Amino acid sequence: MTGYKKHVFVCQHERSSESGRKSCGGSGSAELRSDLKKQITSLGLNSEIRINVSGCLGQCAHGPAMVIYPQGIWYGNIQPSDLNEILNQSILDDKIIGRLKIKQDKNEETSSC
């Protein structure tokens, strides 16, 4: 049994440029995950909060994308300048940052890889 209270999955799926489709891995998601993991480590929270690499989360058009569990908060178009806010508001607390939340258009299909 793990002691993790939260799991954050950061998509790092990367497509070739010939695919014509956006991918999180081609939009800086590896750096986002690495920076977030460093912040969690510096706070001594590694045993409580896990920052995972994820494959495609089916939100490619909104990438870089992540999901935070157990709340099930989906964020997209994340920029490095958003990380502190995500950490303090949504990971350490349970608040939702409205401007980052992925709003699924009802006509939009989630991607499959």
Judged by the rule CB under 6 A, the positions of this chain that interact with ligand FES are 11, 13, 23-24, 56-60, 63, 65, 111
Q: How far is the CB of 59 from ligand FES (least distance, A)?
A: 4
Between 53 and 92, whose beta carbon lies closer to ligand FES?
A: 53
Q: How far is the CB of 80 from ligand FES (least distance, A)?
A: 17
CA dihedral 83, 84, 90, 94 (to 10 degrees): 180
Between 19 and 88, whose beta carbon lies closer to ligand FES?
A: 19
Which tokens hold the place of 45?
């929270």
Between 11 and 87, whose beta carbon lies closer to ligand FES?
A: 11
Q: How far is the CB of 91 from ligand FES (least distance, A)?
A: 19
Inter-residue long-range contacts of 86-93, CB under 8 Å, 24+ positions, other chains counted: 86/36, 87/36, 87/39, 87/40, 91/6, 91/8, 91/40, 91/49
CA separation for the pair 57, 12 (Å, rounded): 9
